[in-house]
Structure 1
Amino acid sequence: MSDDVSYELLGLDNVLLPVGDLGEAVRFYERAGLPAAFRLDDAGIALLKVGKETPGVLLRLDEALDHRPPPWASPRLWLEVPDARSAARALAAAGITTLEEPFSTATGWTVEFADPWGNVIGLTDYAKRPELARRAPR
């Protein structure tokens, strides 16, 4: 008999990120290209759209959080984009500083940025493995 729990994973639901100021966070992420699907200030949450998927990035207000740089071992949330190097240029044009230049991965390119509370978001493409991409690059 196995001690492992057995169930079927169907996919990702929302990813929750703690933020210290909901309004500031929504404005930051909208500049970064993640528009708000809805915002419930009374509940201290806002949902950011990720492509055409129903789940998204859920911002959750935690007033105890102050602005901080990302910790070295910070978890990362990577989102697929058609072209990560182009996304890096768009972030720079929006005044968002990336953590480093776009870097090569096994499947393509990735660029990372952090919000004011240290949550790290990566934008990654499948330039080297287009057969794995949600859609072919243009």
Structure 2
Amino acid sequence: MSHESHERSFDLLGFDNVLFPVGNLEEAVSFYERAGFPVTHRIDEIGLAILKVGKETPGILLRVEEGVEHRPSAWATPRVWIEVGDARAAGRALEAAGVKALAPPSSVATGWTVEVSDPWGNVVGFTDYRKRPELARS
């Protein structure tokens, strides 16, 4: 496999939004608010809500899509991980808010991670850099 760089006519500037398909906007917003995500914009007539993630402009975009049913998460499901100061503390706060973790916090190379799944199987991980603080956001 070649690792040559290929010339392209555009630059990757950063994330815009991460889109999660959901079956019900009210239920989805309620779940994510309990998980600590503030809603920055909501347009019910088109089934859309944008959740804030930290100080960055990109967020999680919830969009109602036809035929999206409740389903359990599986390891093969795409995931988005959000950096937090302490993932184990985040896990405890999520449980207290009624948001069940998929598993107890697990140790990863940089620190700890805990994941949750919304009712439609979209997975959000909360990860910290407690083992590698030099890599963490300041």
Shift of residue 71, structure 1, vs aligned partner: 2.8
Matched, 1:101 2:104: yes
Q: Which residue of 2 aligns with 1:50?
A: 53
| Superposition pairs of residues 22-101 of structure 1, within 5 angstroms | 22-101=25-104
- Greater displacement, 96-105 / 2-11: 2-11
The whole-number CA distance in structure 2 between the counterparts of 1:21 and 1:4 is 42
- Greater displacement, 45-54 / 70-79: 70-79
Considering only aligned residues, what root-mean-square deviation do their CA atoms show, in Å?
1.5
The whole-number CA distance in structure 2 between the counterparts of 1:86 and 1:71 is 24
Q: Which residue of 2 aligns with 1:122?
A: 125
1:75 corresponds to which letter in structure 2?
A: P
Identical residues among aligned pairs (%): 63
5+ residue gaps, structure 2, are: none
5+ residue gaps, structure 1, are: none
1:88 corresponds to which letter in structure 2?
A: G
Structure 1 pair 24–4 and aligned structure 2 pair: CA distance change class (3 A) = same
* Contact 1:21 1:63 (C-alpha < 8 Å) held by counterparts: no
1:110 corresponds to which letter in structure 2?
A: T
In the comparison of the two structures, how many residue pairs are matched?
134
2:127 corresponds to which letter in structure 1?
A: T
- Say which SS state the counterpart of residue 53 (structure 1) adopts: coil
The whole-number CA distance in structure 1 between the counterparts of 2:50 and 2:100 is 23
Per-residue Cα deviation, 1:90-111 (whole angstroms, up to 9, x for no partner): 0000011101010011111000
2:116 corresponds to which letter in structure 1?
A: F
Shift of residue 9, structure 1, vs aligned partner: 1.3
Shift of residue 34, structure 1, vs aligned partner: 0.6
| Superposition pairs of residues 5-24 of structure 1, within 5 angstroms | 6=8, 7-24=10-27
Structure 1 pair 131–19 and aligned structure 2 pair: CA distance change class (3 A) = same
Shift of residue 130, structure 1, vs aligned partner: 0.6
